[in-house]
Structure 1
Amino acid sequence: MSATAPIHQHSQHEGQINVAILGAGGIAHTMARTLLAMSSDERYSSLINPYAVAARDRDRAAAFAEQYGLPVSYGSYEDLVADPNVDLVYIATPHSLHAEQSLLCLEAGKNILVEKSFTANARQAQQVFDLSESKGLLCTEAIWTRYMPSRGIIDEVIASGEIGEVVSATANLGYPITAHARLVDPALAGGALLDVGVYPLNFLDMALQGRDPSRIASAYQPYSTGVDAQSSTTLFYDDGIMAVASSSMLGQSDRKGCVWGTSGVMVCENINDVSSITVYGPGYEVIKEHPIPDQLTGYEYEVASAAHAVLEGRQECPEMPHSDTLRIMRMMDEIRGIWGVRYPFE
């Protein structure tokens, strides 16, 4: 069903959050499936109400809403944020648009969950956080690995001393994805770094517990359009720890994240949706395997965290506070600075 004026059908239950999706591309479909699954799962059904979608094309939005049974659809983002029934907006557009759309939502009084990469650079991120904090609204980055149960398991392994004292870490992510026009377009903040490279950097940041590197070294190979096609970045820390992040949009990588300790190593398979965590001893023998809990899609954790934050009147989620997003954005700015890569709009 399509709507031009707001449909007054607030949450069926008190304390239920009406979630709207801004954008109707690939990741918006994943989020819609997630919201549907949550609405029929007893752990989340009293918390989440899948409510609306907006696209720049009214027919596309209406078709999307019909596909997922959303009661409301809008042919403009302005109409969506004007709907008083919307409690939380998930921003599912290319990251070059995140800053302006985040500001649009916040100005209209909407809480937001913004797909990674949060913005194109740290200056934009700071602008968005300044507004969310002044308005007292939730604003959080939807980088799902920060919210998943696997993160807690990784923290526990490191804290337990199972691998000894951490001395190094590595993480990589690569897919052949240059066929996606947005990813090779400098005007859309294309390149491997902001799309896939953000995961290895976040993995290392979590493994090393949010410390600022004292020095960064990085090198990249450009794509024909000038964006980064693949790169390797080494982070150096004051206590002697080193960490290496690699990303590529040209080829498949093994997608592993490893944390090296004085008495063992923890290996995480598939760092952008961890599928297994194995601890190896000094002779690379398996010491322990940590199972990963079953999940609906993996997106439910960020949605639930954001919904609880809205109900509790918080401006950030503990899994990805503003300071963590800003640190990652500044790191990516510094890495691009080393390469000499700027987006046309910067």
Structure 2
Amino acid sequence: MKMAILGAGFIARSMSATINKMDEVTSYAVASRDYKKAEAFAKEFAFEKAYGSYEEMLSDPEVELVYVATPHSHHYEHVKLCLNHGKHVLCEKSFAINAKQTEEMFALALEKKLLLTEAIWTRYMPLRKTLDDIIASGVIGNVSMLTANLGYVINRVPRLLEPSLAGGALLDVGVYPINFALMVFGNDIERITSTAILTDKGVDAQNSITFEYKDGRMAVLNSTMMSQTDRLGIISGNKGFIIAENINNCERIRVYDLDQKEIACYEAPKQISGYEYEVRACIKAIQEGKLECEEMPHAETIRVMQIMDSLRKKWGVIYPGE
């Protein structure tokens, strides 16, 4: 399958390095608003073609699947552009800036009969199913508590500071703990409480979120762009607990008993970068004529965006145009 990259920034580099090592796809084209940047990028990552405009690349009939790698503040515009040119789309997280945009994007994809899915890589990782299987086995008993965190010292990254670029910790890193909780505990949430520290420009620098589930389970989630965290996801039961190391690209899962003795360890399989799983999921879905990936259905992306909308509303974080 001939794959194209829309945007030639940091995340595009990671994806390009990945697909270069995959047999299932061809590194076909890259587009940037700056042709020289696209040309240099294409040369570095062995793309067949470079384009100085997104529209020009999307008009190329050879392009089959487009990875949208621009900032999430631009996803709504760029994904619609891809769909209106008849291209299947894998869109980087966060999928959009709010649920309204998200629903419109999916509606257009369904109308055009094209695949559109969110590139939230945690949903596609092999260890996700392993985690489900461990919990289902009952080895840690009845599960009642989950904690997850993610944070990096990224508070000097310009796009994260600007409301006009949908900045803040929530959409950039907080989306991972939220997805982790929904993957493990599901959507049957009774109440969400939270608090956030805002920057001078009015985006969240760090936040803490608690999901209270109807059956009494709780998930406590933290994200920050001010500090480096341990990136752990911890799932606790009445017979032991599980530690998922690095929730946004799980490296291993450790299982402990009530005496805090490690009783099992599951290592992630060897991978290129982790991005290959979402690309393979797209290829499989397209070949099967599906319009969404089973690993990250449209409804789940919408649910995450709705949660983040409700959090931002409580904090008073409003992006221009909303």
- Give the 3-state SS of the residue equivalent to 2:20 in structure 1: helix
Percent sequence identity over aligned pairs? 51
1:34 aligned residue (2, 15, 18): 18
Question: Following superposition of structure 1 onto structure 2, how do residues 92-103 of structure 1 map, counting pairs within 5 Å?
Answer: 92-103=69-80
Does 2:233 correspond to 1:257?
yes
1:62 aligned residue (39, 48, 55): 39
Question: Following superposition of structure 1 onto structure 2, how do residues 220-239 of structure 1 map, counting pairs within 5 Å?
Answer: 220-239=196-215
CA displacement, residues 83-132 of structure 1 (integer Å, 9 cap, x when unaligned)? 11110000000000001111111111110000000000000000000000
Residue identity matched to 2:179: N
- Give the 3-state SS of the residue equivalent to 2:310 in structure 1: helix
- Give the 3-state SS of the residue equivalent to 1:37 in structure 2: coil
Q: CA deviation at 1:212?
A: 3.3
Q: Where does residue 73 of structure 1 map in the other structure?
A: 50
- CA distance in 1: counterparts of 2:26 and 2:139, whole angstroms: 41
CA displacement, residues 133-183 of structure 1 (integer Å, 9 cap, x when unaligned)? 111100000011110111111111111111111111110001010111001
- CA distance in 2: counterparts of 1:33 and 1:110, whole angstroms: 22
CA RMSD across the alignment? 0.8
Q: Where does residue 254 of structure 2 map in the other structure?
A: 278
Q: Where does residue 192 of structure 1 map in the other structure?
A: 169
- Give the 3-state SS of the residue equivalent to 2:253 in structure 1: strand
1:304 aligned residue (280, 291, 298): 280
Q: Where does residue 297 of structure 2 map in the other structure?
A: 321
Q: Where does residue 7 of structure 1 map in the other structure?
A: none
Residue identity matched to 1:34: T
Q: Where does residue 318 of structure 2 map in the other structure?
A: 342
- Give the 3-state SS of the residue equivalent to 2:21 in structure 1: helix
- CA distance in 1: counterparts of 2:134 and 2:21, whole angstroms: 31
Q: Where does residue 89 of structure 2 map in the other structure?
A: 112
Residue identity matched to 2:12: A
Q: Where does residue 183 of structure 1 map in the other structure?
A: 160
- CA distance in 2: counterparts of 1:147 and 1:58, whole angstroms: 33
- Give the 3-state SS of the residue equivalent to 1:169 in structure 2: strand
CA displacement, residues 305-333 of structure 1 (integer Å, 9 cap, x when unaligned)? 11111122110001000011011111101
Q: Where does residue 9 of structure 2 map in the other structure?
A: 25
- CA distance in 2: counterparts of 1:76 and 1:341, whole angstroms: 32
2:244 aligned residue (268, 276, 293): 268
Q: Where does residue 14 of structure 1 map in the other structure?
A: none
Residue identity matched to 2:245: E
- Give the 3-state SS of the residue equivalent to 1:56 in structure 2: coil
- CA distance in 1: counterparts of 2:267 and 2:40, whole angstroms: 39
Residue identity matched to 1:90: Y
Q: Where does residue 245 of structure 1 map in the other structure?
A: 221
Q: CA deviation at 1:224?
A: 2.1
- Give the 3-state SS of the residue equivalent to 2:243 in structure 1: strand
* Alignment coverage as a number of residue pairs: 322
Q: CA deviation at 1:64?
A: 0.4
Q: Is the 8 A contact 1:212 1:327 kept in 2?
A: no
Does 2:152 correspond to 1:152?
no
Q: Is the 8 A contact 1:55 1:77 kept in 2?
A: yes
Which moves more between the two structures, 22-31 or 158-167? 158-167
TM-score (structure 2 length as normaliser): 0.99
Q: Is the 8 A contact 2:188 2:214 kept in 1?
A: no
- CA distance in 1: counterparts of 2:246 and 2:2, whole angstroms: 32
Residue identity matched to 1:295: Q
Q: CA deviation at 1:37?
A: 1.1
Contiguous gaps of at least 5 residues in structure 2: none
Q: Is the 8 A contact 2:173 2:224 kept in 1?
A: yes
- Give the 3-state SS of the residue equivalent to 1:258 in structure 2: strand
- Deviant stretches of 4+, over 3 Å: none
- CA distance in 1: counterparts of 2:93 and 2:194, whole angstroms: 21
- Give the 3-state SS of the residue equivalent to 1:162 in structure 2: coil
Contiguous gaps of at least 5 residues in structure 1: 1-16, 39-44
Q: Is the 8 A contact 2:285 2:292 kept in 1?
A: yes
Q: Where does residue 184 of structure 2 map in the other structure?
A: 207
Q: Is the 8 A contact 2:153 2:226 kept in 1?
A: yes
